[in-house]
Each structure stands twice: as C-alpha cells, then as structure tokens.
C-alpha cells in the first residue's frame, strides 16, 4: 500500500527509533510504499528509488485513492530553496506550511488570481498560494536535449552551494553527497540511485574518465560528486562542511588531493557513452 509524505521533511531511519541513524529524507508530497507496520508509531517503507527504512507514521497519509489522485495531479515542484504556502495570495498572509526545494505540489486553477501567485492544493486538500516563480513543472528525461539536460543538472546542483552538510539530508536545509547528486537529477526528471555507487537497474552506467562531461557523476570510496566541467566538481562533504566546488587539477587552488587521487569510477546517464 502506498502513502504520501505529509511532513516538510520525513526522516528515514535505520531502526524504528528517533535516535537511530538517519539514512535518508523523504520530502513532502513524495509517495512511498508501505512494506509493514512495526508498531503504533513506526512503519517500514520503500521509496521510489528503492531505499528502505523506518518512518514515523505521523509523517504519512495512507489512502490508496488519494495517493493515485496525487500522483496524477501533483505535477509541479517547489524550486526555491524553501517556500511558504500562504492562506491568501498576498505576502502578508499567514502560512499553512513551509515546503523545501524538491517538494511535489498540485497546482490548481483559480480565476482572477494575480500572475505572480499560483493556487496550490496540499495533500490534505487545503488550498494555499505560492509565488509562481517558485514553482516548476516536473521535468522528464526527454524534456530537453542531452546538452541542455547536462547544463540543467549542473545548474541545479550549484543552486545548493553553501547548503550545510547533513548526513542523510536532501534539502537546502542540509544535504549529503548522494542527496545532492540524486536531487540534481530528480529535479530534472531522472531518478538515480541515492548512494555513492553505480547500481544495476538504474540509469547511470560506467564510462572511462576521459569520456566525462558536464553532469556526469564521479565516484570515490564512500563519496560521490557531480562534474561541472573544466576539471571542477560540486559535492557535499563532511570535510568541507557544506556544498562546495573543488578541482581535479593538482595546481588549482581548489584541488583536493584526497579525492582527486581516489576516483573509483565515472558514471553517465547517456548510455551511448558506455565503454566497450
């Protein structure tokens, strides 16, 4: 049975306790699969990208009919770092909820609404208002050309610059290495595995390092980064404390020896680049 996340950010834990390791975050409006109930407070779930863990029941709405309707109609995402959903289409209005970048939302039509505002429907059915420029229609892999996709993925990853490092995080409030890369792709319509390795069954395939282009992924031991061109990459690392840019060039001021010398493999979405 599927459920919809109703918390701004729902933590996915390694064990059914709030003090256990956070392995992932699931954002408001995302749908998940309920695998089994654990107790009155916890449920074991699986995300759309096959990550599994324990989530608090209070952060989920379980209703197959609503889930199906939501998946059909929630065709926009929040693209601003975070956005308040307001009760009225005016900046002075009080908020219903705050949502972060990557949140799925349902845009609904409303007559005589100023262009700078969009009416949205929440999971609960409540209607609220968001600035139109903070919304983006959900993308698909084929929405744009390969080159434009690569540029878009890089721009999306760079939009998280300065976001603090958070283990298991995937929002501008805090994000880890695989969270950054997976969100950069997800916001451009592609689901990749949410971890620092290439996994069969997902769309990323291995290529030679000399074939690497903008938007491709660089894998290190326990770490992942997104290549942005000119021997530079963007990543979120514990050592850097936040999303930042570093270089693979030894003489560059942003060079990190510990990473540049430990590259395991490079991955790409575009399979025609696959090595023989």
So what's the architecture of 2-72 in CATH?
A: Roll (2.30)
Cα–Cα distance list, 100 to 82, 89, 206 (Å): 4, 19, 32
Confidence of residue 259 (pLDDT cuts 50, 70, 90): very high
Handedness of CA 226, 189, 75, 107 (dihedral sign): positive
Q: Which is nearest to 29 in space by CA: 149, 160, 173, 186?
A: 186
Q: Given pLDDT bands bounded at 50, 70 and 90, which one contains residue 74? A: very high
Active site residue 257: no
**What CATH superfamily is the domain 146-273?**
endopeptidase domain like (from Nostoc punctiforme) (3.90.1720.10)
- Alpha helices by DSSP H, the chain: 64-73, 146-158, 177-186, 257-260
Indicate the helix (H) or strand (E) that contains 175: strand 174-175
146-273 matches 2-72 in CATH topology? no
Contact 234, 225 (CB under 8 A): yes
Question: How do residues 4-38 score in pLDDT, each as one tens digit?
Answer: 999 999 999 999 999 999 999 999 999 999 999 99
Could you read off the pLDDT of 85-113 as tens digits, one per residue? 999 999 999 999 999 999 999 999 999 99
Q: Above 70 in pLDDT, residue 273?
A: no
Please indicate whether residue 235 is annotated as part of the active site: yes
Q: What is the pLDDT of residue 275?
A: 40
Residue 55 annotated among the catalytic residues of the structure: no
CATH fold of 74-137, please?
Answer: SH3 type barrels. (2.30.30)
- % residues pLDDT > 90 (the chain): 88
Query: Among 187, 118, 195, which residue's Cα sits nearest to residue 152?
Result: 187
Q: What residues does each domain of the chain span?
A: 2-72, 74-137, 146-273
pLDDT of residue 211 exceeding 90 = yes
- Choosing from 13, 223, 252, 257, which is the catalytic residue? 223
Point out the catalytic residue in the list 55, 177, 181, 252.
Answer: 177
pLDDT, residue 14, reads: 97
- pLDDT, mean over the chain: 94
Which pLDDT does position 272 carry in this prediction?
A: 55
User: Please, which pLDDT band fits residue 271 given cuts at 50, 70 and 90?
Assistant: confident
Is 123 a residue whose pLDDT tops 70? Answer: yes
pLDDT tens profile 237-251: 987 789 999 999 999
Catalytic residue among 55, 235, 257, 275: 235
Per the CB < 8 A criterion, the answer to whether 104 and 186 are in contact is: no
* pLDDT at 178 exceeding the cut of 50: yes
Query: What confidence category does residue 126 fall into, taking pLDDT thresholds of 50, 70 and 90?
Result: very high
């Amino acid at each position: 049975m599927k459920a919809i996340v109703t918390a701004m950010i729902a933590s996915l834990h390694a064990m059914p306790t709030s003090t256990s390791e956070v392995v992932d975050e699931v954002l408001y409006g995302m749908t998940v699969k309920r695998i089994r109930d654990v107790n009155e407070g916890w449920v074991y779930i699986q995300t759309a990208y096959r990550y599994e863990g324990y989530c608090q029941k209070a952060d989920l709405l379980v209703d197959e009919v609503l889930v199906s309707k939501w998946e059909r109609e929630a065709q926009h995402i929040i693209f601003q770092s975070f956005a308040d959903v307001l009760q009225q289409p005016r900046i002075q209005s009080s908020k219903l909820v705050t949502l972060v970048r990557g949140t799925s939302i349902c845009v609904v039509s409303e007559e005589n609404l100023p262009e700078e505002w969009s009416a949205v429907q929440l999971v609960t059915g409540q209607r609220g208002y968001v600035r139109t420029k903070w919304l983006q229609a959900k993308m698909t892999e084929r929405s744009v050309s390969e080159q434009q996709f690569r540029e878009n993925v890089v721009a999306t990853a760079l939009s998280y610059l300065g976001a603090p490092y958070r283990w298991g995080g995937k929002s501008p409030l805090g994000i880890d290495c695989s969270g950054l890369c997976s969100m950069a792709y997800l916001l451009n319509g592609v689901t990749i595995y949410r971890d620092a390795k290439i996994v069969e069954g997902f769309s990323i395939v291995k290529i030679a390092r000399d074939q690497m282009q903008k938007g491709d992924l660089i894998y290190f031991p326990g770490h992942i980064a997104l290549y942005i061109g000119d021997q530079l990459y963007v990543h979120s690392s514990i050592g850097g404390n936040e999303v930042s840019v570093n270089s693979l060039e030894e003489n560059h001021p942003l060079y990190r020896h510990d990473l540049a010398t430990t590259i395991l493999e490079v991955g790409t979405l575009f399979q025609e680049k696959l090595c023989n």
